[in-house]
A and B are shown apart, each in its own frame.
Chain A
Amino acid sequence: MNKITGINLNGNAYQLEEPGFVSLSTYLAQAKAHLAGNPDQEEIMADLEQAIADKFQRFLSEHKTVITESEVTIVIGEMGPVDGDDAEAGASGTSDESQTAGPKRLYRVQKGEIIGGVANGVAAYFNVDVLIVRIIFVLLTIFTSGGFIFAYIIAMIFVPLARTQEEQAAASGIPFNAEELIARAKTEYAKLGDKSTEWRSQFRNLRKEHKRQEQQYRKWAQKAKYNKHYQYPSHGNSFGQLMGLLVISFFMWLGYHHVSVIHDFLDAAWNLWHRVADQLAQFVVDHDNG
């Protein structure tokens, strides 16, 4: 059983299954957005609605009074995307961009967090890779000799966690309401449809290339008297390595301040490095003079 929504298409009443109604309103909303600034916007919208109504007619009979979701999809497919005028294409492109920028607020983002999601939230806010923010955080920690940790803790306390989907969207400034969310999903999907054939062929080529290389490696491996257990070398997980490095540096910092052995060891290493550097510098100076 499906919920039914009644609609009025340019003066024609139709009953649609609820999901079909959602796709149709999304389609019409997008069409309207594309025709923004067109002096005949309303007239074209009326024509489009009439065309959709005509197309719906063939799915209806005496014993079938409801348009199903799949029928709506078929009709939307037949209608095709609504183009703006060529002259207005540029203008509508820029207005699209301004529409996609929603309200922006700094939130902590829990998805993919390491400690409290502060770096994640900052990354989302400035729309940069979280790795860059983390590196900056670590550098700040080093330069403030740990003082930044307090700033982080304060941020953890006072910056709210993005709990709802709406807040998560606002964290990266993406517009949020059900219609926009669906519209975004749909446009992404449509893009996927356009690109998918292209992608597929690219993917096929990549895979072919990968297989070829793998065979090449096997041959080399056999020549080098490795057996068939030789594996194609993986590229390693540089992200994981970096995270590991961060965790290690965090514990080193912690140890430096709280464990005397580590403190002494690091101080000794620091002094040694200075002595070596001084001697190197001296050597260069001597070498230049001599």
Chain B
Amino acid sequence: MNASERFASLRKGLLEFAVLSTISSHEAYAADILATLSSTDFQTQEGTLYPLLSKLRREGLLEYEWRESENGPPRKYYSLTIKGESELQATQAYWKELISTLKSLSVKR
């Protein structure tokens, strides 16, 4: 079992974090988010992303607005709410804490 297989469930749990991080840098619509994630370990599909976006929106972490696009139908552009920002920062802080814990554990005494 390689690292990518071993951490499949970890990545699944972190997908929310990854999506919030993607949106934090710039407003994005679903295909944008998928394209950004596709080159990373967090690559996912519409079938997973749409329900996740709707869940994050219901939790008040995201909001969207309809915007016309040059070619094609109007799109939903997602952005973080204030709650979403603070949630993301809290998650990032917790993640750093986890990393430093792991590092401290591997330091030879």
B31 contacts the other chain (CB 8 A)? yes
B30 interface neighbour in A35, A47, A80, A85, Cβ under 8 Å: A47
A80 interface neighbour in B48, B54, B57, Cβ under 8 Å: B48
The verdict on A80 contacting B51 (CB below 8 Å), with A39-B58, A54-B72 known, is no
A121 contacts the other chain (CB 8 A)? no
* Residues in B whose Cβ lies below 8 Å from that of A11: 73
* Residues in B whose Cβ lies below 8 Å from that of A47: 30, 50, 54, 76
B50 interface neighbour in A39, A44, A54, Cβ under 8 Å: A44
* Residues in A whose Cβ lies below 8 Å from that of B51: 35, 38, 44, 82-85
Q: Which of B20-62 contact A (CB under 8 A)?
A: 30-31, 44-48, 50-52, 54-55, 57-58
Q: How far is the CB of B84 from chain A (nearest CB, A)?
A: 17
With the chains together, A11 CA to B73 CA distance in Å? 10
Interface size on B, residues (CB 8 A): 17
Asked if A80 contacts B46 (CB within 8 A), the reply is yes
Flag A85-119 by CB within 8 Å of B: 1 or 0 each.
10000000000000000000000000000000000
With the chains together, A82 CA to B51 CA distance in Å? 8
A286 contacts the other chain (CB 8 A)? no
Asked if A79 contacts B46 (CB within 8 A), the reply is yes
A78 interface neighbour in B30, B45, B57, B76, Cβ under 8 Å: B45
* Residues in A whose Cβ lies below 8 Å from that of B45: 78-80
With the chains together, A40 CA to B76 CA distance in Å? 15
Report the nearest B residue to A43, measured CB to CB: B54
Report the nearest B residue to A55, measured CB to CB: B46
* Residues in A whose Cβ lies below 8 Å from that of B50: 44, 47-48, 51, 82
Flag A1-44 by CB within 8 Å of B: 1 or 0 each.
00000000001100000000000000000010001001110011
A51 interface neighbour in B30, B44, B52, B58, Cβ under 8 Å: B30
Asked if B46 contacts A78 (CB within 8 A), the reply is yes
With the chains together, A47 CA to B53 CA distance in Å? 11
With the chains together, A123 CA to B89 CA distance in Å? 59
Q: How far is the CB of A103 from chain B (nearest CB, A)?
A: 31
Q: How far is the CB of B82 from chain A (nearest CB, A)?
A: 21
With the chains together, A44 CA to B48 CA distance in Å? 11
A244 contacts the other chain (CB 8 A)? no
With the chains together, A38 CA to B50 CA distance in Å? 12
* Residues in A whose Cβ lies below 8 Å from that of B54: 38, 40, 43-44, 47
A147 contacts the other chain (CB 8 A)? no
* Residues in A whose Cβ lies below 8 Å from that of B73: 11-12, 50
The verdict on A54 contacting B48 (CB below 8 Å), with A40-B58, A43-B54, A47-B76 known, is no
Q: How far is the CB of A241 from chain B (nearest CB, A)?
A: 43
* Residues in A whose Cβ lies below 8 Å from that of B55: 85
9 tightest CB-CB pairs across the interface, nearest first?
A: A80-B45, A80-B47, A40-B54, A82-B47, A79-B46, A51-B46, A47-B50, A79-B47, A44-B50
Given contacts A39-B58, A51-B50, A80-B45, 16 further A-B contacts (CB under 8 A): A38-B51, A38-B54, A40-B54, A44-B50, A47-B30, A47-B50, A48-B46, A48-B47, A51-B46, A79-B45, A80-B46, A80-B48, A82-B51, A83-B47, A83-B52, A85-B51
A-B contact pairs, 7 of them (CB 8 A): A11-B73, A44-B50, A44-B51, A51-B50, A81-B47, A82-B51, A85-B55
A residues near B (Cβ < 8 Å) are 11-12, 31, 35, 38-40, 43-44, 47-48, 50-51, 54, 57, 78-85
